[in-house]
Amino acid sequence: MPTNVSPTPKLDLPVRPRRLRRTAALRALVQETSVGAADLIAPLFVVEGRAAPEEIASMPGQFRLSVPDLVKECRTLWKLGVKGVALFPKLDPKLKDAEGTEELNEDGLILRAVRAVKKAVPELVVITDVALDPYANHGHDGVLNTEGDDVDNDRTVARLAAMAVRQARAGVDFVAPSDMMDGRVGAIRAALDAAGFCETAILAYAVKFNSAYYGPFRDAVGSAQAAGTKLLSKATYQLNPANRREALAEALLDEDEGADILMVKPAGAYLDIIRDVRERSDKPLAAYQVSGEYAQIHAAARLGWLNLERTRDESLLAIKRAGADLILTYFAKDVAAALAK
């Protein structure tokens, strides 16, 4: 080795950002964003009967649960520090029709599930979906017009308002209209208040894009598209993924109509929209890390292309850093369990 090599001169740098990255303790002290169990809401799927949990093929680690198993899962999540769940029914296709009339059943699956969960874990925040797609044989979020070629906005809004009241009567903490009909948040707020449910809150799917990332969810709830039947595009009511200004306008409309929490869906591909809404609204902001986001991380991990835990955690940090206060994610249980260790 040469002995005449001069030592490398020190750079005259008054600012060295790496000083704060030198040790794990230093990095932790200056970390700007964190994700805790209380920031997460777990979406759960419920089915009739008492059969063993059925894993959803396109969503590894996610199951369709009977009501008793749903209650057990909610108890586990609560013990892990997860404060909220969002419930979605998977109905027998025989119960579905064009009008989604099974939703009118006062002893229907989702209402029984809500009552069971609130009885078992009363402090757990329970959120229910307000839309007709799990109940309608055409898979749309509302009832169709007389021509059958589009969703009838105003007739759908009337159905959703009544649906929200039934869910409130069952004991939910939040109703969550996911349909993207014009005026539905205001109509639901008025209906809840008129029925005496002033304390029932609205988590609005304020910005829901017509996204390709919903495929595994439609498999999970057995929608018409997942079953391979003909389905009209949802582009007439869900947002065009190309439109940023329109997304912000939709969010502010829902705020004006009385939404308590605004939500952007999907999350990962729409971090700019989350930031836009965060900068324009002081309402709590949620983001839904949807089934396709969850599935693609699992798929890449199974192929050995990505580290599951690191990618999972980084994806959630990105959503939180963009401005979300709350994240609906199928990773909720795993993340909460990891944080509890």
Is 320 noted as a catalytic residue in this protein? Answer: no
Q: Residue 183 region, left (φ>0) first, then alpha (ψ -120 to 50), else beta?
A: left
Residue 33 phi, psi (nearest 5)? -130, 140
In angstroms and rounded to an integer, the radius of gyration of the C-alpha atoms of the chain is: 22
Three-class DSSP category at 60: coil
The DSSP H or E segment spanning 273 is helix 271-280
- CA of 123: how far to CAs of 75, 172, 230, in Å? 10, 11, 42
d(CA 276, CA 267): 13
Q: Which of 234, 265, 283, 333 is flagged as catalytic? A: 265
Q: Which of 118, 208, 320, 333 is flagged as catalytic? A: 208
- CA of 321: how far to CAs of 121, 309, 336, in Å? 31, 18, 18
Q: Are strands 174-177 and 201-208 parallel, antiparallel or unpaired?
A: parallel
Is 90 noted as a catalytic residue in this protein? Answer: no
Catalytic positions, please? 208, 265
